[in-house]
Amino acid sequence: MGRSPCCEQVHTNKGAWTREEDDRLIAHIQAHGEGCWRSLPKAAGLLRCGKSCRLRWMNYLRPDLKRGNFTEEEDELIVSLHALLGNKWSVIAARLPGRTDNDIKNYWNSHIKRKLVGKGLDPRTHLPLKTGRLQLEEEGQSSTDEGGGGGDLDLSISLRLPRAASVNSANWPTTSASPEVVPLPPPPAAPCGPTICFCYHLGFRSDEACSCRTSQSSHSHGYCG
DNA sequence: AAGAGAATCAACCGCAGACGA
DNA sequence: GTCGTCTGCGGTTGATTCTCT
């Protein structure tokens, strides 16, 4: 098919952005909005590809970005969301106002991953390391894999919010009640059926995020229906 | 003080999905 | 329905900074 390159490689800069390039990009976006990234570099007088401009703006120049260390609350929230969503960094970032997917991804890889391993947890599955089952998973059998593949057990797990009301962002353990918080996709319209609500309490504190507490244990399984 | 290794983070790359013609 | 373009995402890389010896 011959995908065209995202930019004319010959005429674009690469590598670290200069102060001047940043200023040009900021000035252009403040004047014209984010608009079409492909045409932006030319319009802004930048020798960069649109992709690079977008990345620079999203990850570094946006005025609403929060700089500095992650708080303990953010840390816990990332772990919780990762347990539910996996490496959906953009979705996780949407729950953390002022943080970018790149930030979170980097923070995950440099801090949290190590922290979980230190606690004896598999950072991918959030389950204890080196059980027989996990041994299988490490060889390519993930517990979240689509139903498929071998073995006597159907290992697929259905995750859903325990109650429709939980879609409301107020029920999520966000660090602030920012209106920018993006709710997770709503559950199907059908009433909550026999699907297991697998509430794996990682990082959530009491009365937050989920109310179907059928067990006092820290790793409880609730049931919708 | 200097070098080595580890940690951090900005940026790039390739792919997939959305969308319009 | 097909094709081409654009955007956004996740994985990865590489430069810089920090820490330890």
Residues whose CB is below 7 A of strand B: A 6, 13-17, 51-52, 55-56, 59-60, 102-103, 105-107, 109-111, 114
> What pTM was estimated for this model as a whole?
0.64
Tell me the per-residue pLDDT of A75-84, one tens digit each, with 9 for 90 and over. Answer: 999 999 998 8
Three-class SS state of A111: helix
How far apart CA A211 and CA A208 sit, in angstroms, is 7
Ranking A22-31, A87-96, A185-194 by mean pLDDT, the lowest is A185-194
Residues whose CB is below 7 A of strand C: A 1, 3-4, 6, 15-16, 36-38, 50-51, 54, 87-91, 101-102, 105-106, 109
- Split at pLDDT 50, 70, 90, the class of A115 is confident
Element containing residue A195 per DSSP (H, E): none
Three-class SS state of A84: helix
How far apart CA A58 and CA A50 sit, in angstroms, is 12
How far apart CA A196 and CA A155 sit, in angstroms, is 13
How far apart CA A136 and CA A183 sit, in angstroms, is 34
C11 closest protein residue (CA to C1'): A105
Tokens of A185: 């996709």
Radius of gyration of chain A (CA): 21
How far apart CA A128 and CA A140 sit, in angstroms, is 17
Amino acid identity of residue A43, one-letter, is: A
Report which of A205, A224, A173, A127 is spatially closest to residue A214, judged by C-alpha positions: A224
Tell me the per-residue pLDDT of A5-52, one tens digit each, with 9 for 90 and over. Answer: 455 455 678 888 999 999 999 999 988 888 788 889 888 988 898 999
